[in-house]
Structure 1
Amino acid sequence: MAVTAVVSAVGLVIDDRVLVGAPIWAKPFKFAVSFVSYSLSLAWMLSLLPRGRRAGRRAGTVVAVASLGEMVIIVGQVVRGKRSHFNVATPFDEALFNTMAVTVVVLWTATLVIAVLLLRARIADRAAAAAMRGGVLLALAGAAVGFLMTRPAPGQRRGESDVVGAHSVGVPDGGPAMPLTGWSTTGGDLRIAHFVGMHALQLLPLVVMVLAVLAPRRPRLADDRVRLRLVRVASGTYAAVFALVLWQALRGQPLLRPDAVTLGAAGAVLLAAAAGTYATLRGAPRPGAGLPPRPSDHSPSVAETRPSAEVTGARKDLVS
């Protein structure tokens, strides 16, 4: 995938062909980069499994083979100057698209197996375990968004249209788009939720790494319970953002042109995230809490606080 990303980058420079409103080599480049990060994340997670490594290794191999098969079709269609996704113009194109659908299902199922292994594993670092589990579950949800794209768009009918399916909602594919990402600026775009969900695999473990770096300077973060709660807040916030951008796209709304309802929902998500973070840090034990106080230079010594023999004798006389 790394080699394919380099080849595609060269193609972006030397090949000026445009397909569906985007440079023809943009799709293989984005897919290759995405598969690099996806595969590295899964490989790292599988390396932490205390049990079930053989099943995890087999599932990882299936992910790699399925990814390779999909990229072969994408690059092959680029060389032909044809669309890879949603293309049913000829029996051959339709067969390739149907093959890609099978590879996606196989890849999704293999990732599900890895998710089950991670959910059942006992990993010592609870914060890292929570980040990995949340990341892989959100990645599965993000990948499942792709199934929504295969539904016929308005005006499309199987057997009558050359294209069946779309990633845009409310507008045709290939219209005005954001730079780099290619996401629609005039309608909803399901690729946004697809992207957000898939890359939870990298971003949630990154939260754990940031907390580990900050822990020496922020003693409260040294408590594994605090890190675990912060990761759970981050996972919940990320899931809410994923649901929000998916809901926004399904309503045919561009990402950068949210209405009042979307802005209100986004504000609620941010408020909940801030409240969860504040509550976690406020409830965290202070550094040194629960430890006995250290004697100072002005504290009386044991000898000074021990009653003298005269005082003790006087007390006995008084009692008698």
Structure 2
Amino acid sequence: MAVTAVVSAVGLVVDDRVLVGAPIWSKPFKFAVSFVAYCLSLAWMLSLLPRGRRVGWWAGTVVALASLVEMVIITGQAVRGKRSHFNHETPFDEALFNAMAVTVVVLWTGTLVIAVLLLRARIADRASAWAIRCGIVLALAGAAVGFLMTQPAPGQRRGVSKVVGAHSVGVPDGGPGMPLTGWSTTGGDLRIPHFVGMHALQLLPLLVMLLAALAPRFARFADDRVRLRLVLLAAAGYAAAFALVLWQALRGQPLTHPDAPTLTAAGLTLTAVTLGTYGILRAPLPPPGRPTAPENAGTPKELVP
């Protein structure tokens, strides 16, 4: 995927073709970069499994192979100057898109298996464990948004239309979009909740790493209960944000032009997270010398130093 990202970046520079309002190499580039982050995150999470590693290895291999097949199709269609997604123009294009649909289901199922393993795993640090669990569940929800994109848009008919499915809601694909992402600025865009949900896989574990880095300077972050509560609050806030952008997209509303209900929901979410964070940080710490739980309690022997 890293190699594909470099090749696609070169394509963006040397190939000036445009397809559905975007440079033809932008989709391979974005997918390749996304898969780099996705697969590295899953690989790291699999390394934390105290048991079930063989099942995890097979699930990870399935995810990698499904990703590879999808990228071969996306890149091949870019070379041909054709749409990779929702393309029913010719029997060959339709067969390629149907193959991609199968790889997406396989990839999602492989990730689900990994999620089950992680949900059952006994990881020593509770904050890390819950960041990983919440992150992968939200990533599965974000990936599932892709299935909504395959539904016929208004005016499209299966077996008749050359294009069946769309990223945008309420407007045709390929209209005015945001810089870099290309997300619609005139209608809803299902790529936004898709992106937000899937990248919980990286952002919630990064929060734990940040709290661990701050622990030597701020004693409060060294407390296991404080880190756990902050992670759970962040996960709840992230889930609310995911639900909000999904609701906004399904109503055909661009991210850049929220209406009053959207702003109200966003304000309530932000207020709840802010007050929750304040309450967690202001709560009294346990007296020095009195651990919150017996050392290594509930930790599998293989994770005990």
Q: With structure 1 as the length reference, what TM-score do the two structures score? A: 0.89
* Contact residue 220 and residue 284 of structure 1 kept, 8 A: no
1:263 aligns to what?
Answer: 263
Following TM superposition, the consecutive aligned residue runs of length 4 or more in structure 1 with deviations greater than 3 angstroms are 286-291
The alignment status of 1:67 with 2:67, answered yes or no, reads yes
- 1:104-253 → structure 2 map (5 Å cutoff): 104-253=104-253
**Count of aligned positions:** 291
2:36 aligns to what?
Answer: 36
Give 1:72 deviation, angstroms. 0.3
Give 1:280 deviation, angstroms. 1.2
Please tell me the root mean square deviation across aligned C-alpha atoms, in Å. Answer: 1.2
Give 1:290 deviation, angstroms. 6.8
- 1:269-308 → structure 2 map (5 Å cutoff): 269-285=269-285, 288=288
Give 1:15 deviation, angstroms. 0.1
Structure 1 unpaired stretches of 5+: 292-320
Give 1:288 deviation, angstroms. 3.5
Q: Give the whole-Å Cα distance in 2 for the aligned partners of 1:148 and 1:15.
A: 31
Q: Give the whole-Å Cα distance in 2 for the aligned partners of 1:290 and 1:60.
A: 41
Which has the higher Rg, Structure 1 or Structure 2?
1
Give the SS at the match of 1:77. Answer: helix
2:99 aligns to what?
Answer: 99
* Contact residue 111 and residue 140 of structure 1 kept, 8 A: yes
Amino acid in structure 1 at the alignment position of 2:13 = V
Give 1:172 deviation, angstroms. 0.2
Q: With structure 2 as the length reference, what TM-score do the two structures score? A: 0.94
Give the SS at the match of 1:234. Answer: helix
The alignment status of 1:25 with 2:25, answered yes or no, reads yes
* Contact residue 2 and residue 33 of structure 1 kept, 8 A: yes
Structure of higher RCO (CA pairs closer than 8 Å, 6+ residues apart): 2
Q: 1:287 to 1:207 in 2, by over 3 A?
A: farther
Deviations 1:69-99 (A, max 9, x none): 0000000001110000000011000000000
Amino acid in structure 2 at the alignment position of 1:160 = V
Give the SS at the match of 2:181. Answer: coil
Give 1:60 deviation, angstroms. 0.3
